[in-house]
Amino acid sequence: MSDETLYMKGFERALLGIGVQFNKEFAIYDYSKCIQVLMEDDGFTEEEADEWMSYNVLGSYVGEYTPVFLMPKEYNL
């Protein structure tokens, strides 16, 4: 794995693996599992967790190695 790959602290249970694009590696997380982590660890409701993820994570760009989130096909951004 690349030293530049970025990981989300506290979301290890939601990590699916590493995606590779040309010469870059990205951490890939299961969005639904991230929601579960927030609900279990931080006591968020599902709606609060989804709102927190949407604003604080999906709305953030932390460089060219920003993690990727696998969304359910029916998820509507």
The model carries a pTM of: 0.86
Q: Is the separation of the CB atoms in 26 and 18 below 8 Å?
A: yes
Cα(34)–Cα(32) distance, rounded to whole angstroms? 5
Structure letter (DSSP) for residue 8? -
Burial of 37 (0-12, 13-18, 19+ CB in 10 A): buried
Q: Are strands 24-30 and 68-70 parallel, antiparallel or unpaired?
A: parallel
Ordered by start, the domain boundaries in the chain are 12-70
pLDDT tens digits for range 4-62? 899 999 999 999 999 999 889 999 999 999 999 999 999 999 999 999 999 999 988 88
Place of tokens 């602290």: 9
Q: How long, in residues, is the chain?
A: 77
pLDDT at res. 38:
98
